[in-house]
Amino acid sequence: MEPTGRWGTKKRAGSQSDFLVKLVFDEDLGNSAYLVASRSSKEAVLIDPLRDVNVYLEAARKERLTVTHALDTHLHNDFLSGCREVAARTGAEIGVSAEARESAALRRRRFLGLHCEPVETLK
């Protein structure tokens, strides 16, 4: 799996954007991951990385970026996230949606054989 396309930029009229966006698409799994970075701070956020994180970290290294956050936008049972690996290798903070945290708590309760009541949405 290689990063596809070039770094994308969004420009306002008469100015250069501070943001870079790199798409990494895995055709076999149909997964899109994004490396979003600031040109000025050289900090990056990795969104929805697959378990094998080398391609993302290599792209960040080539651009001299520091990955500060790894985000999972939609966790599900058949997706192996690379967020923990990114955090372990870079010190990045992990972020997930409130719905993902709620879903994980319910799965954990079911696995442990605990009675499951609806959980209040985490905010």
CB count in 10 Å sphere of residue 108: 11
Q: What is the pLDDT of residues 26-37, one digit of tens each?
A: 888 778 899 999
Q: Is residue 111 part of a domain?
A: no
Q: Is residue 55 part of a domain?
A: yes
Q: Is residue 107 part of a domain?
A: no
Q: Is residue 104 part of a domain?
A: no
User: Which domain does 54 fall in, by range?
Assistant: 4-97
Residues 93 and 69: beta-carbon distance below 8 Å: yes
What pLDDT band is residue 110 in, cutting at 50, 70 and 90? low
CA distance 31 to 1: 11
Instruction: Look at residue 117 and tell me whether its pLDDT is greater than 50.
Output: no
CATH number of the domain bearing residue 8: 3.60.15.10
Q: Is residue 59 part of a domain?
A: yes
Instruction: Look at residue 123 and tell me whether its pLDDT is greater than 80.
Output: no
Q: Is residue 80 part of a domain?
A: yes
Q: What is the pLDDT of residues 90-101, one digit of tens each?
A: 999 988 776 655
DSSP letter at 42 equals -
Domain count of the fold of the chain: 1
Q: Is residue 84 part of a domain?
A: yes
Residues 60 and 71: beta-carbon distance below 8 Å: no
pLDDT for the residue numbered 43: 96
Q: Is residue 103 part of a domain?
A: no
Mean pLDDT of the chain: 76
